[in-house]
Structure 1
Amino acid sequence: MRHAHSTYTSEELKRPLSVKGSKDAIKVKELLLKENIEHVISSPYLRAIQTVEGLANTLGEEIHIMNDFRERKLTEGFAINFEEAIRTVWDNPLFSWEGGESNKVAQHRGIRGMEIVLEQYKNKNVAIGTHGNIMVLTMNYFDQQYDFEFWEKLAMPDIYKLSFRDKKLVDCNRLWKDYE
């Protein structure tokens, strides 16, 4: 799932949920309790952790932090024109801005994380709190319909239920649609 809305701060790792994001995190918990979640994983970023912590607390589960699900680093520092910068890396998967990750590099990291989850939690229902760009890059590896235009339409939060068989994506359903 993509994390709920956050309050912007320059400290990427510690950016907290906004008031709206905190309210939506309660809805995330309510929705995912219906999905028989057995394990909770998160990016190390505070906003992703805060999005899944209510679920984890209700289940009595620890949140397993996985660095592979952190957001892609677009550039060193601040992108002057974010829309142009993000479009450029999606149009050119091998291109990276100075100090940033290309789509290929970020996607490889997301896939590495997903493969670990698929191996360690085989036949389990797992909630993963992550970020829009790395989530869609990972989904794109399995099905190219999940592209830049798909990413642009994501809500915050947004939740997709991915089903796998033998590490192959067999189904993907959006769960958040009824909560917007």
Structure 2
Amino acid sequence: MKTIYLVRHCQAEGQEPDAPLTAVGIEQAQQLAAFLANKQIEGIISSPFERAYRTISPLADAAALPIKLDERLTERVLLGQNHPDWREMLRQTYEDMDLCYEGGESSRTATNRAVQVVTEVLNSSWKNAVIVSHGNLISLLLKHLDQAVGFEEWEALSNPDVYELSFTDAASSFKRIWMP
């Protein structure tokens, strides 16, 4: 069996790639490191966005593990500009995985890049790994594993959040293990 701990970043000061963690987010990252300390983590892959890799840095430091930054784990861009109805637009992308707004990325395209990372982890020698990313991409990855996941599950995600994904030769399953 292989286990991937899918982690949503801690509280951050914004959505920009270089947005740092807030003071609360820095404390959350320490709590997250303690929470994952006994999981026998062998590998860590993170979005290159600062809020993501800073979320997992305390665990990486404590476990003396490098953090592999992977562009495929960046936040999914819904559309190329701010829009007042972005939440409704996002909801529609869970129903139509190929819906793509101007300047954005479809749910299917975003899901495929996240699945590539998971597949590489499953094909690695690691038995237990951490993948750190962003809310929308995480919810799309969960939807890939269970089609019932949608907009409501995205809304229910916390900062941070942790899902344990378990893979055997016969099946995969996931459960939320972080309780905010």
Higher RCO structure (Cα 8 Å, ≥6 apart): 2
Higher strand share: 2
Alignment partner of 1:74 is 2:78: yes
Structure 2 length normalisation: TM-score? 0.90
Find the counterpart in structure 2 of residue 116 from structure 1: 120
Q: Which has the higher helix share?
A: 1
Contact 1:94–1:103, Cα closer than 8 Å, also in 2? yes
Q: Give 1:59 shift.
A: 0.5
**Aligned match of 2:14 in 8, 16, 40?**
8
- Identical positions, percent: 33
Return 5+ residue gaps in structure 2 as ranges: 1-6
Aligned equivalent of 1:166, options 161, 169, 175: 169
Moved over 6 A (4+): none
RMSD: 1.5
Provide the residue aligned with 2:141 in structure 1.
Answer: 138
CA deviation after TM superposition for structure 1 residue 167, in Å: 8.0
AA aligned opposite 1:148: F
Q: What residue identity is the alignment partner of 1:6?
A: A
1:34 is displaced (CA, Å) by 2.0
Distance in 2 (CA, whole Å) between partners of 1:89 and 1:174 is: 23
d(CA) in 1 for partners of 2:20 and 2:82? 18
* 1:25-104 map, 5 Å: 25-104=29-108
- Paired residues of 1:142 and 1:168 also in contact (CA < 8 A): no
- Residue-by-residue CA offset, 1:101-132 (whole Å, 9 max, x unaligned): 1111111111111111111244x110111111
Aligned length: 174
Aligned-partner SS, 1:79: coil
Separation (CA, whole Å) in 2 of partners of 1:120 and 1:67: 19
SS in 2 for 1:49: helix
